[in-house]
């Protein structure tokens, strides 16, 4: 019989030698304008441990406008990018942040 929910067996051990698994989310929507440039929005958040959510003031939620694209650089090779300006939705989140991701496909 488990003394804690099963999901708490994943993750890293904290100072008290217990497993910690945190629950977070991310989402994105985009309008497919053309492969090199698309626009949309992204959102990210953390709600706390899987068996004990933080109260709403301690959770981190942010979202904002984003751009996406794929730039071919050779035969079956391309750079993919996305960038977003994220705004914090509560006190635990930073007021403003910039997110950038670049990938090289080969």
- Is there a contact between 51 and 5 (Cβ–Cβ < 8 Å)? yes
pLDDT-based confidence at residue 33 (cuts at 50, 70, 90):
confident
Q: pLDDT digits over 59-86, tens only?
A: 899 999 999 999 999 899 999 999 999 9
Q: Residue 98's closest CA among 60, 61, 65, 71? A: 65
Q: Residue 12 pLDDT more than 70?
A: no
Q: pLDDT digits over 35-66, tens only?
A: 999 999 999 998 888 777 777 778 899 999 99
């Amino acid at each position: 019989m488990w003394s804690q929910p099963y999901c708490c067996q994943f993750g890293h051990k904290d100072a008290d030698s217990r497993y910690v698994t945190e629950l977070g989310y991310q989402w994105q929507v985009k309008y497919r304008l053309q492969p090199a440039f698309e626009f949309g929005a992204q959102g990210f958040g953390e709600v706390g441990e899987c068996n004990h959510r933080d109260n709403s003031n301690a959770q981190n939620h942010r979202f904002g406008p984003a751009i996406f694209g794929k730039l071919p650089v050779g035969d079956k090779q391309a750079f993919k990018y996305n960038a977003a300006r994220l705004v914090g939705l509560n006190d635990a989140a930073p007021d403003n942040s910039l997110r950038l991701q670049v990938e090289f496909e080969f």
